[in-house]
Structure 1
């Protein structure tokens, strides 16, 4: 929706995503965007999570295809005042190449691997799987 009044967002932002994949590994990316009334979309911050590292960077865990997992994507901290008339956009994807390296959606090393598979990813948003964006809104 179009903002009727200014909204300040300052601090760490994250996306809590409930999702499943047909692949044993995949990426989930998210971008927070300020959309002006003229349609210009300004990227404010973004982040990525490689599914195999959802619990630990030191101990990768592959996915069980079709199983629903909770993923937390860190969009880092930012500060922005969304002006009245603007819209806030959240874009979720499975790739942001070349900003982030490729993911073959397999267990192979992404730099040396040659076998890749197409991942079909599903995002869930219901009472049992409440996918959300966590925004630190500052009272003005």
Structure 2
């Protein structure tokens, strides 16, 4: 399973994280599967194809499907410092990072 996301960041290096959830009638959300892709050239509007981990899940009647999109998922995945540098070694807390603004897009423009 994969998700196609149009994405833009204020930095050229960014991550796109997608999680599929099952929401029951009481509003409780359960994670089904997720995936992350690291991008370079993310400061232009571009398409990110995020492959989610395989799953076998049945959404019961009355449940909703939730798709969460974010620019990271620490601590599940290592932080992306936005510099194009590696996150280890040294430990992520010792790396220089840059703040970013992330914009998911509903269209290519």
TM-score above 0.5, yes or no: yes
CA distance in 1, matches of 2:46, 2:16: 12
How far did 1:39 drift? 1.5
CA distance in 1, matches of 2:36, 2:42: 20
In the alignment, structure 1 residue 102 sits paired with structure 2 residue 79: yes
Match of 1:93 in 2: 70
Unaligned runs of 5+ in 1: 1-12, 53-62, 130-140
Q: 1:45 aligns with which of 33, 36, 40?
A: 33
Superposition pairs for residues 117-136 of structure 1, below 5 Å? Answer: 117-126=98-107, 129=108
How far did 1:77 drift? 2.2
CA distance in 2, matches of 1:87, 1:114: 39
The question of whether the paired residues in 2 share the 8 Å contact of 1:108 and 1:115 is answered with no
In the alignment, structure 1 residue 116 sits paired with structure 2 residue 102: no
2:52 is paired with a residue whose SS is: strand
The question of whether the paired residues in 1 share the 8 Å contact of 2:22 and 2:66 is answered with yes
What count of residue pairs does the alignment treat as equivalent? 105
Structure possessing the higher radius of gyration over alpha carbons: 1
In the alignment, structure 1 residue 26 sits paired with structure 2 residue 17: no
CA distance in 2, matches of 1:71, 1:83: 29
- Tell me which of the two structures has the higher relative contact order, counting C-alpha pairs closer than 8 angstroms and 6 or more residues apart: 1
Q: 1:74 aligns with which of 51, 72, 76?
A: 51
CA distance in 2, matches of 1:64, 1:100: 18
How far did 1:76 drift? 2.7
CA RMSD of aligned residues (A): 1.7
